[in-house]
Amino acid sequence: MDQTEGISTTDALQAVVEVNLRVVSAEALLKACHWFSREFICEIRNRDEHVADVILTPRNPASASELALASGAFTTSAMDFALREKIEAKTSGIRDLLLAKAFSESG
């Protein structure tokens, strides 16, 4: 297997994305995999408790440059889902207060 900048080449081209599990939760990682599941088969392999590899195998033939783009897009998507989780956790109390206030005034 030949590896160059996150891209592994075997019989079929695959992209391997390294994910820091201290930054991206398992839930955010699964959401990113689900988001990519139309175009790629996603396999998650834990290296240790803090690092996982996500292997993206295209469902249709793809070039190495397309896989490199997909790898970057996957990383961005995983980070986006992780950030959304953190924002939701920090603002859920305010959201609940706003909803309670809105419903108390409407009835």
Q: What is the mean pLDDT of the chain?
A: 88
More confident residue, 5 or 26: 26
Tens-place pLDDT, residues 53-87: 999 999 999 999 999 999 999 999 999 999 999 99
With a cut of 80, say whether residue 18 has pLDDT above it: yes
What are the CB-based long-range contacts (under 8 Å, 24+) for 80-85? 81/24, 81/27, 81/28, 81/29, 81/31, 81/32, 82/23, 82/24, 82/25, 82/28, 84/28, 85/25, 85/27, 85/28
Contact 45, 29 (CB under 8 A): no
